[in-house]
Amino acid sequence: MTDCKLLRKHICDLEEGALAPELRERLEHHLKACPSCREFALAFSAVWHSADTPDTITAGDDFWLRLQPKLNQIDSKKEATSLLQRFVPILRPAAIGVAALVAIVLGHSFGNIPNTSSQDASGISSLWQEYRLDSFDQFPEGSVADLFFEASSESSSESEAGS
């Protein structure tokens, strides 16, 4: 490793004085011989020591004169908010809760269709008529719905013939 790379690697330790004496002497000797590294070390040292002192920022003489009207505008806008806008954060969760409750009630009422698994074919036909679903009588031939209606009509005719 060249001394230039070594210096750049240990420049922080050199500024803090945290190097082994042999390495410190080697780097100081290199700084005397290499103008590029000497310039780099001086620039680094200036930045290193200036980082300890904070910068002071001063506002212009007219800063408060320009800021005060803007602050007054913000205060007047806050006072002008309507009563409804103050209660909107409270009303939103309440509206969501009511909508969820309505959805649950409607879902329960729409889902409360009688179980048809134990009914016979005539009961299924009457159920179709009850819910006005018998208007779907033009299904494509061979479709599942067509086969279902065909089977249910055969079952109902057999049960009527048997009675």
Sign of CA dihedral 137, 141, 144, 150: positive
Summarised one tens digit per residue, pLDDT across range 112-143 is: 665 555 555 555 566 555 554 445 556 667 77
With 0.85 as the threshold, say if the pTM is over it: no
Summarised one tens digit per residue, pLDDT across range 18-28 is: 888 898 898 88
- Cα–Cα distances in angstroms (integers) from residue 119 to residues 69, 112, 124, in the given order: 80, 16, 7
Q: What is the largest CA-CA distance in the chain?
A: 121
Domain ranges of the chain: 3-50, 121-162
Highest mean pLDDT range out of 29-33, 54-58, 153-157?
29-33
